[in-house]
Structure 1
Amino acid sequence: MKPVIPAVKAVIVKGDTFLALKKKGQAGDVYELPGGKMNFGETHGECLFREVYEETGLEVQPFILYDTWENFQPDYQITGVFYLVEMPENGTIRLSEEHVAYQFLPLEKASLAQMDIVFADRMARWDFEAIKGFMGAR
């Protein structure tokens, strides 16, 4: 039996934008979301806090579980969840050695052209206007 690996990703919202990270060694202008694989005994929230802090230096809390994603490889499957997260007001981004750049992309479908296909395919179904309204209404 091939392993199924749980993971979490954060959609860190700042105004009408979201945080995207460029992984070291990634060819082209392709970005991903902060987050990663869960450790044994870790909750989704604990994993999200740990991974986002390791990758960006930001201390965040999951706000709402928004969607799921899957990544099928020949020897394993990653099954993950997306959390909507607010950008900390006084947050300063410090990238880990895993990433070389970041940017805040507009919360709209056109931004998905810069995202890794694993995430872009799923995010293409999202209602970005509803996300903006929901996150801005808080």
Structure 2
Amino acid sequence: MTRPRSAARGLVVRDDELLAIQYRTDGEDWYVAPGGGQQRGESLAETVRREVYEETGYEVAVGSLAYVRDFVPSTHYEDRDDDGHQVDHFFWCERVGDEPDDPTERDSVQVGVRWLPLDERRGGPVLPRPAR
């Protein structure tokens, strides 16, 4: 098994909505909090700021750590037999401005950015599942 990848994600709440990245694979939509891999020499807070901005266009102030998720894809998905392993650090964040810039970097399967009503998260395709 390879070394775990360290990642950080932002939990950005506006009124009763959560900022989420919308992905589409095999015709199915699903959502995750914006974030991604930590670069060498970068703090987790710097990772959150950079990734949220790249994926959503929002600048954020990073607050406290909300929770940590130890994620091994092969234990969650039948079709994944790789040795991937990621440790996600989720941080509470606040928007610095009201209007976002255009996202600067999107993942290949990212199709949008949405504000999801918090009550919609309980039954919808939002990952990680323990956050519901």
Q: TM-score, normalised by structure 1?
A: 0.76
Alpha-carbon distance in structure 2 between the residues aligned to 1:41 and 1:47: 10
5+ residue gaps in structure 2?
74-81
Rate the CA distance shift 1:26–1:19 in 2: closer, same or farther, 3 A.
farther
Secondary structure of residue in 1 paired with 2:60: coil
What does 1:26-65 align with in structure 2 at a 5 Å threshold?
27-65=27-65
Counterpart in 1 of 2:2? Answer: 2
Q: Offset at 1:25?
A: 4.2
Stretches of 4+ moved more than 3 A in 1?
A: 24-27
Query: Aligned letter for 1:43?
Result: S
Q: What percentage of residue pairs aligned between the two structures are identical?
A: 27
Secondary structure of residue in 2 paired with 1:46: helix
Partners of 2:56 and 2:113 within 8 A in 1? no
What does 1:17-28 align with in structure 2 at a 5 Å threshold?
17-23=17-23, 25=25, 27-28=27-28
Partners of 1:7 and 1:79 within 8 A in 2? yes
Counterpart in 2 of 1:135? Answer: none
Counterpart in 2 of 1:100? Answer: 111
Counterpart in 1 of 2:91? Answer: 83
Rate the CA distance shift 1:53–1:75 in 2: closer, same or farther, 3 A.
same
Secondary structure of residue in 2 paired with 1:61: strand
Secondary structure of residue in 2 paired with 1:63: strand
Q: Offset at 1:32?
A: 1.2
Q: Offset at 1:107?
A: 2.0
Alpha-carbon distance in structure 2 between the residues aligned to 1:33 and 1:93: 18
Aligned pair 1:115/2:108, yes or no? Answer: no
Q: Offset at 1:90?
A: 2.3
Rate the CA distance shift 1:97–1:2 in 2: closer, same or farther, 3 A.
closer
Alpha-carbon distance in structure 1 between the residues aligned to 2:7 and 2:62: 14
Query: Aligned letter for 1:91?
Result: E
Rate the CA distance shift 1:97–1:36 in 2: closer, same or farther, 3 A.
closer
| RMSD value, Cα | 1.9
5+ residue gaps in structure 1?
125-138
Q: Offset at 1:103?
A: 1.4
Query: Aligned letter for 2:121?
Result: S
